[in-house]
Amino acid sequence: MKYSQFNTLIPYKNNYVFHNSFTNKFLFINPLLKELIEASKNENNIDELKDIHIDLYNSLVDLGFLIETKTDEIQKVKGLIHTVDYNDEEYYLIINPTMNCNFDCWYCYETHERQSRVLDTSLDKITLFISNIIQENKKLKKFTIQFFGGEPLLYFKKTVLPIMKFIYQIARENYIKLSINFTTNGYLINNEMIEYFVKYEVNGFQITFDGNKENHNKVRFVSKNKGSYDKIVENVKKLVKNKINITFRINYTEKNLIGLDEIFNDFQDLSMKERNKMMLSMNKVWEEKNKNLGKEVVAFKEKAKTFGFKIPDSLLSDRVRNSCYADKYNQATINYNGDVYKCNAREFDKNSREGVLNKAGYIDWNEKRDYRMNIKLKNNACLECKILPICGGGCSQQAIEYDGRDYCVNDYDEAKKEDIVLGMFLSENLENV
Ligand code: SF4
Ligand code: SF4
């Protein structure tokens, strides 16, 4: 037997958290057991551990800390990544109905194309595409559709509604579990739309706030004298009252973290059950240079939890088993004009498109898609890393952008890697340690 390369030992409150990132299992051990483990490892005498402490030895084997000597651990991670990213039971489709937007946020990476929207011919191609995927993939069980953009609600009746109607019907007929989601600024939502969202069983919305009312209105405004905060808060409340889930995204900066708690006052009138429909997602604005905002963010998260917001499951820190949709083979991002991409966090320019939707409702992928699907696990540092099975070397887009250079998405910082592991452990076990 040998010790797994994916073991991490972290001191915590006079004891130690022992983690294996391939099995994602933890042991909370005392210093004596830690000494035994280290001694057997350093003296390369694992079998002796069996004689000294058989229960410890068996636990280490069961939880994957100790593995067969001949095991190729990198190969196992490759297999895991392949299983997750080539899952053929699910399809994830992102549609950009337009690249236009009713706001002009300073940090937005998208170029707003004022006249852009799905024309009737593209609409036919999109519905044909959905139909082909659902009818030709016999193993398919779940279809997720996400309306992105631009602001996807700008041309709601002409583009989004016909697609929603179509997919709702065809998914039902083929016994496919459907999940409909929107990433929107939330301003344009009205009562009529909400009736459709309920009718077509829309699952969730991601709606972004840029701080409290004052800060938000500096970024997202209708005119010089008219902000958007009150209207968006009102719309979020209407959605949760209709049992629709909200990912409550906060784009934070050093400045807008100040006074952020005031947000809670604006949702006081919701019941605990309604507040629980809102999942908090804290995202640092990419231009923000201050790297030391962690404490403020954690403090805000704790208040949000007490207030009744849901906090994301720590297991989501496992970026391999929960890889980004863009890493998956069964995923496409279709732009309003029929250009196809994978990642939707970069500009949608012609040079980076990975395919084109054709008249028959199929995607003609170019070589960029194969390149993306084969980009993972090429970075030397990752192959020696103890958290590779939960980091995966970052997402496919990061791997593409670093291609040819050595990199680490955690700055080669062992303390940062340990923080990720400890964060996962504490969110599962805080009450018990
Ligand atoms: S940047 Fe990475 S994580 Fe974000 S959408 Fe693109 S591939 Fe996914
Ligand atoms: S990117 Fe860094 S943390 Fe992630 S697997 Fe590679 S070396 Fe490890």
Q: In this structure, how many other beta carbons lie within 10 angstroms of the beta carbon of residue 257?
A: 22
pLDDT at 432: 64
Q: Is 385 in the pocket of ligand 2 (CB under 6 A)?
A: yes
Task: Compute the mean pLDDT over every residue in the chain, rounded to the nearest whole number.
Answer: 93
Is the distance from the beta carbon of residue 33 to the nearest atom of ligand 2 less than 6 Å? no
pLDDT tens digit sequence for 354-386: 999 999 999 999 999 999 999 999 999 999 999
Report how far ligand 2's centroid is from the alpha carbon of 314 (Å).
18
Q: From the CA of 384, which ligand is nearest? A: 2
122 lines ligand 1 (CB under 6 A): no
What average pLDDT score do residues 250-271 get? 95
Give how far Cα 375 sits from Cα of 309, 406, 408, Å: 37, 13, 15
Kindly give the distance from the C-alpha atom of residue 75 to the centroid of ligand 2, in angstroms, as a whole number: 16
Residue 399 Cβ inside 6 Å of ligand 1? The answer reads no
CA 391 to CA 224: how far, in whole Å? 44
pLDDT bracket for residue 22 (50, 70, 90)? very high
Q: Is the CB of 395 under 6 A from ligand 1?
A: yes
- What integer pLDDT is reported at residue 222 of this predicted model? 76
Q: Are 303 and 264 in contact (CB under 8 A)?
A: yes
Per-residue pLDDT tens over the stretch 303-312: 999 999 998 8
Is the pLDDT confidence value at 315 over 90? no
Ligand 2 pocket, mutate which of 376, 391, 395 (most atoms under 8 A from CB): 391
Rounded percentage of the chain residues whose pLDDT exceeds 70: 96
Task: Determine which of 158-167, 314-323, 384-393 has the lowest per-residue pLDDT on average.
Answer: 314-323
CB burial of 291-311 (b: ≥16 within 10 Å; e: otherwise) equals eebeebbeebeeebeebbbbe
pTM: predicted TM-score of the whole model, two decimal places: 0.91
Q: How confident is the model at residue 109 (pLDDT cuts 50, 70, 90)?
A: low
Q: Which one is predicted more confidently, 285 or 199?
A: 199
pLDDT band at 413 (very low <50, low <70, confident <90, very high): very high
Confidence of residue 269 (pLDDT cuts 50, 70, 90): very high
Point out the ligand nearest to the CA of residue 400: 1
- CATH superfamily, region 82-367: Aldolase class I (3.20.20.70)
Residue 119 CA, ligand 1 centroid: distance in Å: 27
Q: What residue has token string 């409340």? A: 237
Whether 397 is in the pocket of ligand 1, judged by its Cβ within 6 Å, is: yes
* Cα 345 to middle of ligand 1, angstroms: 6
Residue 398 has pLDDT above 90, yes or no: yes
State the pLDDT at residue 292.
79
Query: Does the pLDDT value for residue 106 go beyond 70?
Result: no
Name the residue ranges covered by the structural domains of the chain: 1-71, 82-367
Ligand number, closest to the Cα atom of 376: 2
- Over range 21-32, report the average pLDDT: 96
Residue 295's pLDDT is what? 83
Distance (angstroms) between ligand 2 centre and the Cα of 380 equals 9
Judged by average pLDDT, the poorest of 45-49, 270-274, 329-333, 424-428 is 424-428
**Residue 423 confidence (pLDDT):** 85
**Close Cβ partners of 362 (under 8 Å, ≥ 6 residues apart):** 129, 132
How many percent of the chain have pLDDT more than 90?
Answer: 80
- Ligand 1 close to Cβ of residue 206 (< 6 A): no
Closest ligand 2 atom, CA of 392?
5
> To test the ligand 1 pocket, which listed residue (318, 396, 400, 402) has its Cβ within 8 A of the most ligand atoms?
396
**pLDDT at residue number 431:** 58
Model pLDDT for residues 231-258, shown as the tens digit of each residue: 999 999 999 999 999 999 999 999 999 9
Q: What integer pLDDT is reported at residue 119 of this predicted model? A: 77
Predicted pLDDT of residue 105: 65
Question: Per-residue pLDDT averaged across 295-300, rounded?
Answer: 88
Residue 125 dihedral angles phi and psi, to the nearest 5°: -65, -40
pLDDT at 317: 83
Cα distance between residue 415 and residue 177, in whole Å: 41
Determine whether the shortest distance from the Cβ of 299 to ligand 1 is under 6 A: no
Q: Is the CB of 146 under 6 A from ligand 1?
A: no
CB-facing half-sphere around the CA of 205: CA atoms within 13 A = 31
303 CA → ligand 2 middle, Å: 31
Give the separation between CA 349 and CA 346, rounded to whole angstroms.
9
* Confidence check: pLDDT of 219 > 90: no
pLDDT range class, residue 430, cuts 50, 70, 90? low
CA distances from 309 to 62, 207, 247 (A): 36, 14, 10
Q: What angle do CA 273, 274, 280 make, to 5 degrees?
A: 105
Does 111 score more than 80 pLDDT?
no
Contact residues for 126 (Cβ-Cβ < 8 A; gap 6+): 95, 118, 163, 334, 357, 361
Structural Rg of the chain based on CA atoms: 24
Residue 344 in contact with ligand 1 by CB distance below 6 A: yes
116 within 8 A of 151, measured Cβ to Cβ: no
Closest listed ligand to the CA of 85: 1
